[in-house]
Structure 1
Amino acid sequence: MLPDAVPEHIRSRLADYAQLLRINRPIGSLLLLWPTYWALWLAGEGSPDIGNILVFTLGVFFMRAAGCAINDFADRDWDKHVERTKDRPLTTGRIKPREAVALFGGLCVISFLMVVLFTNTLTLYLSFAGAALAFIYPFTKRYTHMPQLFLGAAFSWAIPMAWAAQAGELSQITWLLFTANVLWTVAYDTFYAMVDRDDDIKVGIKSTAILFGEADRTIIGVLQAMVIFILVIVGHRSELGTFYYLGLLAMACLFIYQQFLAKDRDRDGCFKAFLNNNWAGFSVFTGLAIDLFLS
């Protein structure tokens, strides 16, 4: 078989790079992809350009991988104290810090070139802010209990970029989607932070899970309700129909299910609640795409 023809040390290195870039865990890319598609499909009135779909699909995966590289670079001295991350390649020394920085830079350059070659000037200008947010986020957990807010902005910046690439301008709908996605990201990443809360407290890493304390699930529920409310406004202003609202109903039901999964605040339940958000984003996109296709 072909894998057996590759020397063991090369296979081991490739596996380490795959782990660093989270190629084996696409959940982060999917959580970034669905809102990007919301923006593309709405801006394109149900028929976005194939070129934009390809550029932003690849861009999502490249920039998420870049974000993982710089995140592990920033956390390399902290991750060894956290059960879930103690075996990451940077923490164990299997990958050098300069390699992670080089990967971050290389992936950003590739993404930037796609924007330059295949989109417009407004999207190009917006891309600088997107790269800055991707770089800044990993370092915020040292200085603020709201790093999830910065992650939300970084994850949501693809929305105005996709909208600008497709429509050539931004609108109120763009920023409503952006706001909804920031709130959604804070909600699901708080579930994620609840997995590591005990370890984070010991090593001094800050998060909304620590900030919210025993009110964590209540505040997440409020954030989730706000997401649904804003997306209802988006549907009303965009004159969307039944299938879109069925997608929102599915998201709301999944939010309730996530609260059930995390009811005991144990690591496994909180992680499952986090992962379940992939289906929430997919539900909205499916309802939106069907509604626009039939209109």
Structure 2
Amino acid sequence: MSITEGRVADAVRGSWVDSRAPASWRPYLRLARADRPIGSWLLLLPCWWSAALAAIAAHQPLPNLWHMVLFAIGAVAMRGAGCTYNDLVDRDIDGLVERTRSRPLPAGQVTPRQAKLFLIAQVVVGALVLLALANPFAWGIGIASLGIVAIYPFMKRITSWPQSVLGLAFSWGALMGWAAAFGRLDLPAYLLYAGSILWVIGYDTIYAHQDREDDAIVGVKSTALLFGTRTPLMLGLFYGGAVLFFAAALWLVGGSVIAVLGLLVFALHLAWQIARLDIEDPDLCLRLFQSNRDAGLILLAGLMAEAALRALV
């Protein structure tokens, strides 16, 4: 297969990568999942929540907009780097799974050496974003996340809870926004982080149900395989726990009815996901997983509205 051929089986059909990007760029953009921005959104949202929560605590009408922009750039770069690294580690497994065998590495669209160079370039962008925060404490917090990112691809080989490690990594932004604003970490940020971890475990369990049968064949583990038909019950526990942790964080910063209303609508969205879930329908699992972007934006809207209100009183 040439470098300009081959769409990825689980990619969005008709994306800008397929229709507008230069042909020679497409394998690299697919490697970074640029045709599937949902991952960048899910990495970014805890950063923005944390920045908004810090604004509430500081009685500021808006989060630091420069930080919000930097987090957006960093989320795209580091999500792409994480996907590239994950594909390098998993390229043999991906070649055995129907949904992933057409990814650039197992399909031969890029070589491992090319993928490693691309990985380095994305990490450099992430490092520049971190430096631009101009906060040594935030630099340390950001660098600390790399250890979790490094071990994540191996977790599916040794534990049925790889989603929990993904939660640790994808929720890191819940610490970063607060750290960048205050140069320290306080209990509200830790509570936000804990809630986000539970949220990630929930939505990634839904996502993992797409590969449940292939994973069992090739011998990798997931909470989807662990929970099976008990998935709705377990989602209720994880999503419910996430809402409680978020409520506690809001209480500590003095959140009013505005923030609580946003959290309530967020909770209703999560309940809707559980009610709609059919673990035997991979397409539905994908749609419900993707809907978490909207759930996260709902929570963000409540936090932003609370910050604006707080600054007026």
Output the TM-score relative to the length of structure 1.
0.93
Q: Which runs of 5+ in 1 are unaligned?
A: 1-9
For the pair 1:176 / 2:187, whether they are aligned, the reply is: no
Q: Name 1:25's counterpart in structure 2.
A: 36
Code of the aligned partner of 1:116: L
- Residues 1-295 of structure 1 aligned to structure 2 (within 5 Å): 11-45=22-56, 46-295=61-310
* Structure 1 runs of 4+ with >3 Å offset: none
How far apart in 1 are the matches of 2:276 and 2:88? 31
Deviation by residue 1:155-190 (Cα, 9 ceiling, x = unmatched): 111221221111111100010000000110000000
**Percent of pairs with identical residues:** 36
How far apart in 1 are the matches of 2:148 and 2:201? 15
- Check conservation: 2:62, 2:304, Cα contact below 8 A: no
- Check conservation: 1:112, 1:127, Cα contact below 8 A: no
Query: Structure 1 residues 135, 100: closer, same or farther in 2, change over 3 A?
Result: farther
Q: Provide the secondary structure at the position in 1 that maps to 2:280.
A: coil
- Check conservation: 1:36, 1:162, Cα contact below 8 A: yes
Code of the aligned partner of 2:187: Q
Code of the aligned partner of 1:13: S
How far apart in 1 are the matches of 2:100 and 2:122? 23
Code of the aligned partner of 1:212: F
- Check conservation: 2:208, 2:224, Cα contact below 8 A: yes
Moved more, 205-214 or 169-178: 205-214
- Check conservation: 1:212, 1:219, Cα contact below 8 A: yes
Q: Which runs of 5+ in 2 are unaligned?
A: 1-20
Q: CA deviation at 1:123?
A: 1.0
How far apart in 2 are the matches of 1:64 and 1:286? 23
How far apart in 1 are the matches of 2:102 and 2:256? 48
Aligned residues: 287
Code of the aligned partner of 1:236: W
Higher relative contact order (CA 8 A, sep 6+): 2
Q: CA deviation at 1:209?
A: 0.8
Moved more, 31-40 or 43-52: 43-52
Code of the aligned partner of 1:61: V
What root-mean-square deviation, in Å, do the aligned CA atoms of Structure 1 and Structure 2 show? Answer: 1.6
Q: CA deviation at 1:264?
A: 4.8
Q: CA deviation at 1:293?
A: 0.6
Output the TM-score relative to the length of structure 2.
0.87
Q: Provide the secondary structure at the position in 1 that maps to 2:184.
A: coil
Code of the aligned partner of 1:273: L
